[in-house]
Structure 1
């Protein structure tokens, strides 16, 4: 059975995005980390592909955990959070949803947003 090594790396932050499969996994990540930036994406989505390197940098360079949710594989989870378009970024802090952003955002905008909850 495979283990999620990124999830075992620490409970405060991770150095790479965590791929989420199912609502319970997202709940677990949100419970384990103070701040979680969740990227709801689709493989066929051009803007999602543009955002991917930004999300990967944020995983390495900020104190937020970064989670990625493939909306095609997790339609029910996307529906629970009202995701109607991709990319949609949802920020969780202290166990609750605090921000939602639809569309591609610049790295500095997202870094600033995360900073409001991690500093």
Structure 2
């Protein structure tokens, strides 16, 4: 798929989401499931969202004010250690959390200068503002998020 086709696809999905919200009456606040899928609701997801392409990450970052992106690899021991913390951050902080598999999306990892995993990038208003390499505890990461989500 070309960049132009991907962009058009993103626009189409956003338009469909907006139309669906207008039909359903945005603001009724009805969420029947604790796990909110950002692609369907536009709300901050409560579980980490797996990124499928560079354009998917761009859309995700532009949809949410504060986004924590976890660049990881399945073979990485420290990444596995960090996984429960990342899931907790998605549940308990205002940040949307995204996961990028560096083996699947090598170009995206390269684009953001990821040379080791785990690497966490924090985006605020669509721009990368913080980078953390290695495992950190929940309190440290939650504090980092709250500095931008406040």
Normalization by structure 2: what TM-score? 0.74
The residue number in structure 1 matching 2:54 is: 23
Partner of 1:111: 142
CA contact (8 A) 1:58 1:111 kept: yes
The structure where helix makes up a greater share of residues is 2
Q: Distance in 2 between matches of 1:106 and 1:10?
A: 30
Give distance in 1, aligned partners of 2:116 and 2:39: 31
Per-residue deviation, 1:8: 3.0
Measured in 2, the distance between the counterparts of 1:29 and 1:84 equals 22
For the aligned residue pairs, the C-alpha RMSD in angstroms reads 1.1
CA deviation profile, 1:40-93 (whole Å, cap 9, x unmatched): 000000000000000000000000000000000000000000000000000000
SS at structure 1 position matched to 2:37 = helix
Q: Hey, which bits of structure 1, 4+ residues long, moved more than 2 A? A: 7-12
1:118, CA displacement in angstroms? 0.6
Q: Structure 2, unaligned stretches of length 5 or more? A: 1-35
Paired residue secondary structure (1:79) = helix
Q: Which residue matches 1:65? A: 96
Larger RCO (alpha carbons 8 Å, 6+ apart): 1
TM score, norm. by length of structure 1: 0.93
Bigger-Rg structure (1/2): 2
